[in-house]
Structure 1
């Protein structure tokens, strides 16, 4: 059989889906399995055996038609739509494939969860419901971003250059997109001044975080802004003790490192979006997390205190 998995984005959702994709691969170990994704995430799957990765452009009528024609010409037997947005629904509806599994209890999905998703569970749990509806046993919450050999070598060299050793440092990500500065927790400096007594601190982030990280590094730590891509950050995480961040992208990447990732939330809903396998490390104002989207109201992230974060870290016996 020929199998198609659809997962287009965004970064956190792609990372969460990795264990689901691996489970589909095990179930279809004798079949030809393809993954349709976008160019930004193509290389994340290069180390996964028996998966043929096909990139597509996500937007525009021309690209929509081009992708549909490719799907039809490939003559797939089954489609697992892990995206299940308007665009991928159209892919499935016009694919010519009789068996499509997806998130919504409606056409074109033959296999699907019984109810409409309202954020009552983590997105990973919902993806599991999709594959279970298609006769596949549920995946474990174990996201995976394996590093190629050159990335492993790169991180080893970087650690040597910075005089860091295995597990003697922690990763901190204090920034966010400049469009969402309300996600930035304002007490990273104060937290770092406490944690530097136990570990070396590495500040990571992208272009939007450069000014903030330069400011924080004046107090303590190593400025590693823009030093790592997705796979190298996951590999750096595997060498670290734990991580603290207020941004979802590094939360999800570092959840693949099999370390505690302390995620500070306020304006976004942690039950739906926390890093996979890290719910016990979520830090939310008053630590009262609503059960679904309807009960969630955005909070001021500054309501989380330094003591709240230190308390969570101590509960894991890390300091």
Structure 2
């Protein structure tokens, strides 16, 4: 059985559209992207605990609904202005007491401004938010640390808040079956994600094949993880070494896969944050993006970057970070 949010065993799924909220009810907004939603999971859980037993509803994108089993959801299609206006109308009808805008971008800010909700929690010290940190956010700390400040400004305790994902026995069974069918049950597995956003191709490290070949010589087998958009890349890599697992797993099943792997190596991507919710070290490759703001929570010491020890972020090309340098850090950390 899936544990679910706050220990519940039942998947409540989407909200009943006929059920109206009351002025005591709470709205949480977190729309995307994948890595940011994963980092927000612990925040959402803490908000639910803080307001229990009051009713809390999460507004999120359809693609991420599966990350929140047992939580009452309203899904929102971000592709059109019509959808945005319809969602604002829905919010106004619900008469929420408080909204936590964990997105805090222009779109969600407009939603909050038009919501009619009296208590509006957000990242920026300006309208529409009336509960917020005093300082302006300009990337001076990690995104997750900033969101902890947002919750504290709203009177929510943030002790020991970290991303959490609840995978089920069914998720574990799916992973077990896949490993057995692939003949991998007794292999020394490493998970790698060689993809990244199609809009940020510069965040893709060009030496995954070389690293995987070096690890294969030491008895490790690489599982190439990713979604449909990673199929071409993963197929090319798997022809050289490892196993292609493109679109083989849901988000939560990918977390369950970490129970069978020794460590992971990824680009700065959504799967990096998913894997960090598992039980293994996760090495994130950074160059064009600032690792100080974006590393997987709990994995700071496993950042792979040429500017890892520099006091100020300096953008570098990922091609400058050679596979031998990555391999030496894995050796120093004892994961090999």
Q: Deviations over 1:290-318 (max 9, x none)?
A: 54xxxx44211011122321222223321
- Answer whether contact 1:12 1:253 (CA < 8 A) is retained: yes
* Residue 207 (structure 1) shift: 3.4
1:141 Cα deviation (Å)? 5.1
Residues 187-216 of structure 1, C-alpha deviation per residue, up to 9 Å, x if partnerless? 212211221213222112233333332232
Residue 307 in 1 paired to residue 324 in 2?
yes
Contact 2:31–2:37 (Cα < 8 Å) also in 1: yes
For 1:17, which of 40, 51, 55 is the aligned residue? Answer: 40
Would the aligned equivalents of 1:166 and 1:240 in 2 still touch at CA under 8 Å?
Answer: no
Q: Matches of 1:60 and 1:192 in 2, distance apart?
A: 42
Q: Per-residue deviation at 1:255?
A: 1.0
Residue 5 (structure 1) aligned with residue 25 (structure 2): no
Question: For residues 109 and 215 of structure 1, what CA distance do their matches in structure 2 show?
Answer: 48
What's the TM-score once normalised by structure 1's chain length? 0.92
**Where in structure 2 are the equivalents of 1:120-139 lying within 5 Å?**
120-139=140-159
Say whether 1:198 aligns with 2:219: yes
Q: What's the CA shift for 1:172?
A: 1.1
Q: Which piece of structure 1 moves more, 223-232 or 127-136?
A: 223-232
Query: Whole-Å Cα distance in 1 between the matches of residues 187 and 106 of structure 2?
Result: 44
The answer on 1:169 being equivalent to 2:174 is: no
Q: Find the aligned partners of 1:264 and 1:243 in 2 and give their Cα distance.
A: 11
2:214 corresponds to 1:223: no
Partner of 2:129: 109
Distance 1:91 1:285 in 2: 40
Contact persistence 1:19–1:139 (CA under 8 A)? no
Write the deviation string for residues 260-300 of structure 1: whole angstroms up to 9, x where unpaired: 11011111111111111111111111424554xxxx44211
Q: Which whole-Å CA distance do the structure 2 matches of 1:102 and 1:255 have between them? A: 26
CA contact (8 A) 1:173 1:247 kept: no
Question: Residues 69 and 166 (structure 1 numbering): CA distance in 2 closer, same or farther, change over 3 Å?
Answer: farther
- Which segments of 5 or more consecutive residues in structure 2 lack a partner in the other structure? 1-23
Gaps of 5+ in 1: none
Query: Aligned pairs, how many?
Result: 312
**Residue 35 in 1 paired to residue 58 in 2?**
yes
Kept in 1, the 8 Å contact 2:46–2:161? The answer is no
Q: Any residues of structure 2 matched to 1:1-319 within 5 Å, and which?
A: 1-46=24-69, 48=70, 51-140=71-160, 142-165=162-185, 168-196=188-216, 197-289=218-310, 291=312, 296-319=313-336
My pick for the range that moved more, 12-21 or 58-67, is: 58-67
For 2:186 and 2:35, the matched residues in 1 are separated by 26
Query: TM-score if structure 2 supplies the norm length?
Result: 0.87
Q: Secondary structure at the match of 1:200?
A: strand
Cα shift at 1:169: 0.8
The answer to whether the Cα contact below 8 Å between 1:174 and 1:213 also exists between their aligned partners in 2 is yes
